[in-house]
C-alpha cells in the first residue's frame, strides 16, 4: 500500500483489463483500516471530518430492507446457485456509492483493487486503453502507446458503443472493463462511434501483455530532444532523472515534452517533473477542498535542472489530470509553449482508502486549480498554438504536432 498514501491524478485507465484511472487524485496519509474495529473507527472519523467541514446532518444507515430482500431471495429465488452473498454485498456497496452520481467516486472490490495497483506499476494485460464514463457513455481517453488498442486504430475521444454484442452504456465501468479484459492471445470486438465518421467502426483486438514505458527519449535534428512521458507512474521519476542526465550531457538546445495520450498518474510525480522545468520553489497547483481552511498549495522543490532549456509541451485530448497539471503550470508561468489540441479536462481530486478486507473506496474530495487559480475541470487546457491531427494524418502515420514543434525551434533560431 505504498502509493495509496499519495495523490493520484488520472482519467480512468482501463487497459482492457481492469486498471483504473489516471487522472485522478488520491490524498496523502490515508491509512488502511487494519481490522473490522479499525474500519468502524475510520468511518466515525470521516463523519466527524464532514461535520467539521460544514453543515452535515448525520443520519443512521438502515439496512433492514437489504436484510429483508436477502431473506426473500433465499426463500424463493428460482436459481439458488446465483445467490452469492459476497458478490451481492459488494454489489450493494457499489450501488450505494454509485448513487451519488459522481463517476469518479467508486467502490472497488479486493480483486479490482489489485488490478488497479498493477496498472500503476506499469504492468498490464488487455488491450491498453484509458477509459472514462462521461454522460453515460464509455469514452476512450487515450490508447496506450504501442498497445493492441493503438495498433488496432482506437483513438482518443472514441465512444465504445458495444463490447461484443452488448451495449456498453448499459454496463457499469467495471462491467465494461471485465468484458474488455481477458487472457493474452484472446480477442475482443469493439463497436466504436467516432466524431466525423458517419458509420460505426468495428475493431477486433487481440489482447496482450502490456508493459508501459513511462518515458521515452529521442534526440532529433539540431540538438532538440523529444521526451515523451506516457504515464506518471512508479517508474517515472527514476526514468526522468536518467533522461535529464542525457539532456544535460548532450547540451540540448531545446526540449519537446510530449504528454499526448497521457491520462495522468501520481500528483507528486507531476510535481517532480515541474520542479525540474521551473525555477525556484513556486506554486505548481492549488487543491481546494470542501472545508476552505484545508485548502493546499502544492509547490515545486526548486531542483530546476532543465529550467533554462527552451521548452514546448505537446498535448491532445488524451492528456488528462497529471498531464494537465504540468501543461497548466507551464502555461501560467509562460515557461514554454503549449502546443497541440485542447486537453481532456480532469480537475477533480479523489481520495483512495483501503478497507479491512482489501477493498477500496475512491471518492472525490477536492478540485485542483492551476497556479493562476484556473479550473480546467470539464474545460481542459487550451494550447497556446493549436495544431490538429486529421484523419489523413492518422492513416498515413504523420505527426504534424511534432513537426510544428520542430519548426518552432527552427524559426526561433
Q: How far apart are CA 268 and CA 400, in angstroms?
A: 31
What is the separation, in whole angstroms, between the first and last Cα of the chain? Answer: 49
Closest CA to 180 of 200, 157, 210: 210
Helix, strand, or coil here: 256?
strand
Strand 385-386 relative to strand 337-340, pairing: parallel
Residues acting as catalytic residues: 321, 346, 350
Q: What is the pLDDT of residue 413?
A: 65
Helix, strand, or coil here: 69?
helix
Name 351's bridge partners: 363
Residue 259, CA atoms < 13 Å, CB-side half-sphere = 35
Q: For residues 239 and 203, is the Cβ–Cβ distance under 8 A?
A: no
Interior/surface letters 310-344, b for 16+ CB within 10 angstroms, e for the rest = bbbbbbbbbbbbbbbbbbbbbbbbebbbbbbbbbb
Check residue 389 and report its DSSP letter: P
Q: What is the pLDDT of residue 185?
A: 93
Closest CA to 350 of 338, 360, 363, 340: 363
Name 286's bridge partners: 297, 369
Residue 13 pLDDT > 60: no
Across 16-20, 50-54, 122-126, 211-215, least confident range:
16-20
Interior/surface letters 55-87, b for 16+ CB within 10 angstroms, e for the rest = eeeeeeeeeeeeeeebeeeeeeeeeeeeeeeee
Q: What is the pLDDT of residue 176?
A: 85
Residue 222, CA atoms < 13 Å, CB-side half-sphere = 14
Largest CA distance in the chain: 80
Q: For residues 200 and 192, is the Cβ–Cβ distance under 8 A?
A: yes
Q: What is the pLDDT of residue 240?
A: 96
Place of cell 481477458: 182
> Who has greater pLDDT, 5 or 164?
164
Residue 219 pLDDT > 90: yes
Q: How far apart are CA 56 and CA 302, in angstroms?
A: 41
The string of pLDDT tens digits covering residues 50-63 is 344 455 667 777 77
Query: Which residues are CB-contacts of 255 (< 8 A; sequence separation ≥ 6)?
Result: 224, 225, 227, 247, 306, 309, 310, 311, 312
Q: What is the pLDDT of residue 145?
A: 79
Name 138's bridge partners: 133, 160
H or E segment to which residue 100 belongs = none
Q: How far is CA 76 from CA 88, 135, 384, in A?
A: 16, 37, 64
pLDDT band, residue 123 (cuts 50/70/90)? low
Across 39-43, 190-194, 233-237, least confident range:
39-43
> Who has greater pLDDT, 351 or 358?
358
**Rg for the chain, CA atoms, rounded:** 22
pLDDT band, residue 48 (cuts 50/70/90)? very low
Helix, strand, or coil here: 3?
helix
By CB neighbour count within 10 A (0-12 exposed, 13-18 middle, 19+ buried), where does 267 fall? buried
Highest mean pLDDT among 72-76, 126-130, 135-139: 72-76
Closest CA to 321 of 364, 291, 354, 281: 364
The CATH number of 215-346+370-412, from 3.30.70.2740, 3.90.226.10, 3.40.640.10, 3.30.70.980, is 3.90.226.10
Residue 100 pLDDT > 50: yes
Q: What is the pLDDT of residue 265?
A: 83
238-250 average pLDDT score? 95
Closest CA to 289 of 28, 62, 69, 60: 28
C-alpha cell at 259: 504528454
Amino acid at each position: 500500500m505504498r502509493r495509496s498514501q499519495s495523490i493520484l491524478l488520472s482519467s480512468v485507465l482501463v487497459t482492457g483489463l481492469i486498471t483504473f484511472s489516471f487522472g485522478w487524485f488520491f490524498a496523502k496519509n490515508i491509512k488502511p483500516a487494519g481490522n473490522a474495529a479499525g474500519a468502524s473507527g475510520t468511518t466515525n472519523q470521516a463523519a466527524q471530518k464532514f461535520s467539521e467541514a460544514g453543515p452535515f446532518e448525520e443520519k443512521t444507515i438502515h439496512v433492514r430492507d437489504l436484510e429483508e430482500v436477502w431473506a426473500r431471495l433465499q426463500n424463493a429465488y428460482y436459481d439458488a446457485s446465483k445467490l452469492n452473498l459476497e458478490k451481492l454485498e459488494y454489489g450493494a456497496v457499489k450501488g450505494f456509492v454509485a448513487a451519488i452520481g459522481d463517476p469518479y467516486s467508486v467502490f472497488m472490490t479486493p480483486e479490482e483493487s489489485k488490478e488497479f495497483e498493477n496498472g500503476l506499476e506499469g504492468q498490464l494485460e488487455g488491450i491498453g486503453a484509458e477509459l472514462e464514463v462521461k454522460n453515460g457513455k464509455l469514452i476512450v481517453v487515450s490508447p496506450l502507446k504501442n498497445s493492441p488498442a493503438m495498433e488496432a486504430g482506437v483513438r482518443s475521444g472514441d465512444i465504445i458503443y458495444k463490447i461484443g454484442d452488448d451495449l456498453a452504456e448499459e454496463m457499469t465501468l467495471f462491467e465494461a472493463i471485465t468484458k474488455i479484459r481477458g487472457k493474452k492471445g484472446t480477442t475482443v470486438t469493439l463497436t466504436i462511434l467516432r466524431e466525423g465518421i458517419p458509420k460505426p467502426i468495428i475493431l477486433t483486438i487481440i489482447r496482450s501483455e502490456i508493459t508501459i514505458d513511462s518515458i521515452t527519449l529521442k534526440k532529433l535534428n539540431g540538438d532538440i530532444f523529444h521526451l515523451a512521458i506516457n504515464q506518471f507512474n512508479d517508474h517515472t521519476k527514476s526514468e526522468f532523472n536518467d533522461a535529464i542526465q542525457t539532456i544535460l550531457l548532450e547540451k540540448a538546445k531545446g526540449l519537446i515534452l510530449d504528454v499526448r495520450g497521457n491520462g495522468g498518474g501520481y500528483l507528486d510525480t507531476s510535481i517532480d517533473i515541474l520542479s525540474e522545468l521551473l525555477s525556484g520553489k513556486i506554486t505548481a497547483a492549488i487543491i481546494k477542498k470542501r472545508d476552505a481552511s484545508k485548502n493546499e498549495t502544492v509547490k515545486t522543490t526548486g531542483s530546476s535542472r532543465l529550467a533554462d532549456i527552451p521548452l514546448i509541451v505537446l498535448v491532445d485530448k488524451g492528456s488528462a489530470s497529471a498531464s494537465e497539471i504540468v501543461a497548466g503550470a507551464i502555461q501560467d508561468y509562460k515557461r514554454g509553449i503549449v502546443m497541440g489540441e485542447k486537453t481532456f479536462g480532469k480537475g477533480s481530486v479523489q481520495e483512495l482508502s483501503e478497507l479491512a478486507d482489501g477493498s477500496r473506496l475512491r471518492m472525490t474530495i477536492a478540485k485542483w486549480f492551476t497556479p493562476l487559480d484556473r479550473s480546467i475541470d470539464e474545460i481542459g487546457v487550451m494550447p497556446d498554438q493549436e495544431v490538429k491531427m486529421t484523419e489523413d494524418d492518422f492513416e498515413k502515420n504523420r505527426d504534424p504536432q511534432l513537426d510544428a514543434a520542430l519548426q518552432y525551434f527552427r524559426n526561433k533560431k
